[in-house]
Structure 1
Amino acid sequence: MVAPNAVTAMALCFGLTGVRYGISGEWERAVAAIIIAGVLDGLDGRIARMLRGESRFGAELDSLSDVIAFGVAPALILYLWSLQAMPQAGWIFALCHALSCALRLARFNANIDADEQPHKSAGFLTGVPAPAGAGLTFMPLYLWLVTGLDIFRAWYVVAPWAVFVAFLMISSIATYSWTALRLRKTVRLEAIALAGLLAALLMTNPWLTLLAISGVYILLIPFGMISYARVRRAKPIAAKPVV
């Protein structure tokens, strides 16, 4: 249990460290801390399964970490970076992100032992996961870091986008999960090469790369909905007995 839960605790601390950098106006470090928290969040579950260290305690700690690192921390960073300039209602839009993240994780915990989970059984997720939601809500910040244009920092750009991402997190749309991705043997070497190049791009031009990744993720959402609908239509047919 110790190793995966330690990774989860590290993700939590990186999320809170992002707030610390946001308070001091170090926006690049603030976003980088949240991104690192997202990477660690993707590793803890795999480490737990690999070491057979899965536990109810770990699941609860993971949810609490996600709420803070990908709900509260991004909301505070967005508010400090842009939304505080919005007359009166800026804090409300920041709360939308944090609240939606908490509601999404509460729904996940409530359904964790449910027998009927259509999206999960088909290899999909329900709504946008919390780490992806945190990454998507920073898209205006990525654009600002890439272009230097203050229009992307304006509250009337950031506020609607924050609400849109918050809706994606609590929605019931089907989104791709790692288990839904199946690579053919003929393209596995190409996929490994692409992963290496992506890592290099993240080191050399992180904000433009994160912007591209976020854009691709947004574009994949409709395809995930279509794929899930196709899977759900095919399942009842496959279940019919052969006469």
Structure 2
Amino acid sequence: MATLFPPFDPQRPRTKRRLRFRHLPIRTVLPNVVTLLALCSGLTAIRMAIEGRYELAIAAIALAAVLDGIDGRVARLLKSTSKFGAELDSLTDFVNFGVAPAVILYTWTLDELRSAGWIVVLVFAIAAALRLARFNVMLEDPSRPAWQSNFFIGVPSPAGAIVVLLPIYLGLVGVDLGGTGLGERAGAIVVALYTLLIGFLMVSRVPTFSGKRFGMRIRRDLILPLFVLVVLVVALFVSFPFEMLAVGSVLYLACLPLGWRAWEKHVAADLAAKRTEAIDEAEASAPGP
């Protein structure tokens, strides 16, 4: 009797002999389990938004972002990276950081704009999909300089999902975005323009720090102060979660020019190195006196 769920490997030649189940080590499955947990968290955020429980919706998006940062590191640590895991991660990111934040914003205030609000939702979700597709293509580019691995091109989708929810953070701490006197519709217009701005930053060519190498090496004299800082930040997040998310979002947007400046310095260094190399080659090939 043929197996009910035969294994599939597109790179393995098909044979007529019956396929048998293979025992897989748990380390190959664990990263995908973390990714699926992140997907469940993103879908739960959509449900919480529909029910009007925005605090829990934001918590679910934040949890999905944390799990998204963990699954890749777990896969590399366990040496269990795979093409299947990479594809699953991309699809999960689209739902968690493209669809879920847009739906949350729509149920929060964009529904005041009716069809225009829904168009904003579509634009943001499409921007997230394009951002992820471009990221996957750029990973396969062998001609990229090594220093470019320290940068993202455009705002990454997890950061975009956290930052785009800034109007909700402000609303939960009592800041009225419709302070022009026009009421909720004015606030919805402000949120719509802000959402379009974040979507544009996601698909733009603006370089941003990736943070992949952050914290890989720590000076010994900074370990204890770092412990104190981590405890302080965690305590502030527990006590003032939405205030901290609002401050963090504003600081992230304010730091975007720093990433651009660092990128331009690397580009200038590469151009200078190429000019020097070209001059050296020209002098070496020039005929002697």
**Which TM bucket (shorter chain)?**
over 0.9
Structure 2 counterpart of 1:147? 174
- The 3 A distance-change label for structure 1 pair 180 and 231 is farther
Equivalents in 2 of 1:18, 1:197: separation in Å?
27
CA–CA separation in structure 2 for the residues paired with 1:223 and 1:150? 28
Equivalent of residue 196 in structure 2, options 146, 163, 179: 163
Give the Cα–Cα distance (whole angstroms) in 2 for the partners of residues 167 and 42 of structure 1: 23
- Answer yes or no: is the 8 Å Cα contact 1:4–1:47 preserved in 2: yes
Tell me the secondary structure at the aligned position of residue 178 of structure 1: coil
Counterpart Cα distance in 2 of 1:199 and 1:130: 23
Question: Contact 2:177/2:190 (CA < 8 Å) preserved in 1?
Answer: no
Q: RMSD of the TM alignment (CA)?
A: 2.1
Q: How does 1:1-243 map to 2 (within 5 A)?
A: 1-117=28-144, 121=148, 123-147=150-174, 149=176, 151=178, 154-179=187-212, 181=214, 185=219, 186-238=221-273, 240=276
Distance 1:181 1:238 in 2: 26
2-structure distance, mates of 1:13, 1:224? 32
Q: Rate the CA distance shift 1:150–1:231 in 2: closer, same or farther, 3 A.
A: closer
Q: Deviations over 1:109-133 (max 9, x none)?
A: 2222111335863511111111100
Q: Which runs of 5+ in 1 are unaligned?
A: none
Q: Provide the secondary structure at the position in 1 that maps to 2:205.
A: coil
TM-score by length of 2: 0.78
Whole-Å separation in 2 of the counterparts to 1:88 and 1:236: 48
| 3-state SS in 1 of match to 2:115 | coil
- Identify the range of structure 1 (38-47 vs 115-124) with the bigger mean alpha-carbon deviation: 115-124
Q: Tell me what 2:22 maps to.
A: none
What is the DSSP-based 3-state SS (H/G/I as helix, E as strand, rest coil) of the residue aligned with 1:89?
A: helix
- Structure 1 distance, partners of 2:210, 2:138, is 17
Q: By how many angstroms is 1:147 displaced?
A: 1.5
> Secondary structure in 1 aligned to 2:152?
strand
SS of the aligned residue for 1:143 comes to helix
- Structure 1 residues 150 and 160 mapped into 2: Cα distance closer, same or farther (>3 Å)? closer
User: Which amino acid in the other structure matches residue 192 of structure 2?
Assistant: A
Following TM superposition, by how much is the alpha carbon of 1:97 offset from its aligned partner in structure 2, in angstroms?
1.1
Distance 2:78 2:272 in 1: 38
Partner amino acid, structure 1, of 2:230: A
* 2: CA distance, partners of 1:213 / 1:131: 13
Contact 1:136/1:214 (<8 A) preserved: yes
The structural deviation recorded for 1:190 is 2.9
In 2, are the aligned partners of 1:122 and 1:228 still within 8 Å (CA)?
no
Structure 2 CA distance for aligned equivalents of residues 9 and 189 of structure 1: 35
Matched pairs, number: 243
- Identical columns (%): 42
Paired residues of 2:167 and 2:177 also in contact (CA < 8 A)? no
Change in CA separation of 1:93 and 1:54 when aligned onto 2, cut-off 3 Å: same
Report the more deviating stretch, 228-237 or 31-40: 228-237
TM-score by length of 1: 0.93
What SS does the aligned partner of 1:116 have?
Answer: coil
Larger Rg: 2
**Letter paired with 2:141:** A
- In 2, the alpha carbon distance for the partners of 1:10 and 1:136 equals 22
Q: Which amino acid aligns with 1:215?
A: V
